[in-house]
Each structure stands twice: as structure tokens, then as C-alpha cells.
Structure 1
Amino acid sequence: MTELPRLRDLIALTLRSPRQAAGHLIALNLSRGILWQALLLVVILSVLAAQVSVLVSFGTLSPMLDTGEGMISPLFASPLVLGLMQGVLLLISILATYWIGRAMGGTGSFEAVQVTVCWLQFMMLCLQLVQILLSLLIPPLGAMIGMAGIVVFFWLFTQFVTVVHGFRNPGLVFLAILLSLTGFVLGVSILMASLGITFMGEIPDV
């Protein structure tokens, strides 16, 4: 197992050279037990960030008060439900990245997929926290970070999958990700709409 780098250095490396960061993460050879703990940790952190985002959006932390026209979805009102949903979606993302990648000729291991997807989720969480902070201080910049987060997500995910599965053409990888996510989001949207759950404007998670 290689030495675990400092968190700040790994974040900087991910933004500067995502393929190198992915290779470093895979080379850590983390055990499945540690990887499942990492997944649980990012789910918990994501739930906490979502709760803060709800408070900001509905006026508890911002000057604008909720008029009552928009009610907080039961998904966001219950941290437990949100956590379960986040965990299920993250697990589905890992399984889909592994199975679809292997079906397309990729050679990545389940552990390699899990460590990179968990790290991607953590990176998106960091951007979400920046977005929340800027939304309080400079709202227009917060919205810009939200839009930039979409670009960062697809860029990092494409680079990670390319490295994990040993693909050579990032463009084709991006296209496969886009098609897969479109089908996935459509299915999830239909399911959540049937449950009366609506999405809020945030940086997308995995």
C-alpha cells in the first residue's frame, strides 16, 4: 500500500491532474472494509451538507424567509431517508460504473471503481460547500459555482473511468457516461416524481 497523501494535496492533484489522482487512489489498494467505511462517510457528509443547503434555501440562514409556497420535500426533511437515498444512489453509481465499464471491455476492479466514485462524491461535496458559502455571501457567485460543478463532475468522472477501466478515448467514455446517466436520471426522476419528491438546485452528486 502506498502512502496516503494529505487531503489538501490530493484535492489539488485531482483538480490539476485527475488521471494521476485516480492512479494514486487505485494504487493505495484500500481494503473493502475501508472502502465501505469511506462510502458511509461521504453519505453522512452529503446528508449534512444537504441539510445546510435546505436551511439556506428556505431562509433559516439567509435573509429571505420562506413564504410557505414551497414546502421542504420529505426526502430533505428526514436525514435518515435522505441518507438511505444517497447511499442507494451512490451504490448504484458504483455498480453501474463497474458493470457497464466491464461490458465495454474495461478491466477495472470493483475496488478501483469504488474508491474513485467515493472520491468523486467527496470532491462534489467540497464544491457544494463552497457553493453554499458563496450563496450566503455573494449569491450570483454561488449560482455560478453550481453550474461549474456540473462541468467539473463530468470532467472528473470521465477521467476517472478512463483510468479505472484502461480506456484510451475519453471522448467515447464521456459519451457512454452521458447516455448512461441520461437513462439513469430519467428512471430515478420518474420514480421520485411518483413518490412526490422534487429535486433542489445543487451541485450534482454521483
Structure 2
Amino acid sequence: MTVSNLRDLAVLTIKTPAEASRVLLGMDIPREALWTGLALVAVLNGLLFTLSNLLVPGPSPLPEIFLVPALYTVVVAGGLVLTVYALFWTGRFMGGTGSLDDIMLTILWLQGLRVALMVVVIVLILTVPVLSALLVFAASIYGLYILLHFIDQAHRLNSLAKSAGVLVASMAAIVLGLTLLISLFGGPISGLSAYV
């Protein structure tokens, strides 16, 4: 199936995630453009996070250090890079054949959709707050289902159970890696101990 524009691909992603993933992976996008796209969605995440804090001020679940927009953007960018490499290597370890570009394109597209969702959520917070909470909850659950299909297609696993294994192993690897980094740099960062 061919998709004429990004809106059609977004709708296809919601309706038939596996098919949308195949269409997306069939696109020939240079790696430099993928890295640029990941940097762009990190910046957009930072801007929208800052905007939501300005429009709806209140206590944040994040440590105070992450409320600095530039630092938040760097953390998001680092998290995206870690996620790409974790999904790539754990997928390969579990028999997947996806390339780094396939995984990067998958994460870039899903993060792009997340940015669009954040815009809708901010509008709803200002107009219908209850609906915004329901949308976030539904998107979190259904987003996981979409992610499993995209991992499955990117790594050609032919099994949602295997893609779930890749996702769990990737998250475990990220947590382990971050724990090791924190311990190497002298224990918990100031202000983080209350959240661990």
C-alpha cells in the first residue's frame, strides 16, 4: 500500500500498526536525516514540556533539575539515542534482523506522533482537562501496542511475544546502564534520591 502523506500514515499507524510500519520501513531515508529528525523531536519535546509548565503551572513529578528546558531536551535526546541502540542490539540478540536505520526510523516516527499528541493534550488541558487525562491514558496503552508491532516489523520477528521480549530486555538494559553510570559518577545525583 502506498501512503500519499504523513496524515494518511498517522491514521494507518492507529488503524493497522503493522502495515503502517511496513510502509514506513519501505521509505529510503538517509541516516543523517534520521539523526536530524531525532534531534528535532527532542527539541520539540522540550519546547512543549516548557509550554505546558507555563500554561499549567504546578508540582512536577520530575526532579527540579530537569525543569530547565535545555537540560530536559538533552535528557530526552539521550533517552532516544539509548532507546534506539538498546532496541537494535537486544533485537539482534533475540534473532531480529532489523538495521539501526530501521529502528531509528521507527522511534523517530513514533516520537513524531507523540509530539503531535502532546499538542492535542495541551489544548485539551486548557479546555477539557478530564478528556486530556483520558486521552493520555488511552494513548499510553494503545501506544505500547503500536510500539510492539513496529518492533516486530523492524526486526522481522513475526511474533508480538518476541517483540515484547525485545522491549522488556531493552528497558532492562537501559536501566542497568544508567544505574552503572550513576554509580561510576559518585552515587545518586543531588535531588534524585527522593525519586529512587
TM-score class, shorter-chain normalisation, is 0.7 to 0.9
- 8 Å CA contact 1:124–1:153 kept in 2: the answer is no
Mapped partners of 1:100, 1:179: distance in 2: 7
Cα displacement (A) at 1:181: 2.5
Determine which of 155, 159, 175 is the counterpart of 2:149: 159
User: Between the two proteins, what is the percent identity of the paired residues?
Assistant: 27
Equivalences for residues 118-157 of structure 1 within 5 A: 118-157=108-147
Going by fraction, where is helix more abundant, 1 or 2?
2
8 Å Cα contact 1:46-1:125 kept in structure 2: yes
**2:101 is the alignment partner of 1:107:** no
Matches within 5 A, 1:49-128: 49-58=48-57, 66=58, 73-76=64-67, 78-128=68-118
Equivalent-residue separation in structure 2 for 1:15 and 1:55 (angstroms)? 30
Contact map agreement 2:63 2:192 (CA 8 A) in 1: no
Count of aligned residue pairs for this structure pair: 187
Distance change >3 Å, CA 130–CA 69, structure 1 → 2: closer
Equivalent of 2:189 in 186, 194, 202: 194
Aligned-residue Cα RMSD (Å) equals 2.8
AA of the residue aligned to 2:42? V
Q: CA-to-partner distance for each residue in 1:64-123, whole Å, 9 max, x for gaps?
A: xx5x899982312x2211111111000000000100000001000110110011111111
Q: Distance in 1 between matches of 2:107 and 2:117?
A: 15
Structure 1 residues 70 and 42, CA gap change in structure 2 (3 angstroms): closer
Structure 2's unaligned 5+ residue stretches are: 183-187
Q: Which residue of 1 aligns with 2:44?
A: 45
CA distance in 2, matches of 1:38, 1:123: 12
Runs of 4 or more above 6 Å deviation: 68-72
Aligned CA distance change for structure 1 residues 139 and 107 (closer, same or farther; 3 Å): same
Instruction: Give the SS at the match of 1:28.
Output: coil
Separation of aligned partners in 1, 2:22 and 2:60: 48
Q: 1:94/1:142 Cα in 2 relative to 1: closer, same or farther (>3 Å)?
A: same
Distance 1:188 1:156, change over 3 A: farther
- Aligned-pair CA distance for 1:139: 1.0
Opposite residue 134 of structure 1, the aligned amino acid is L
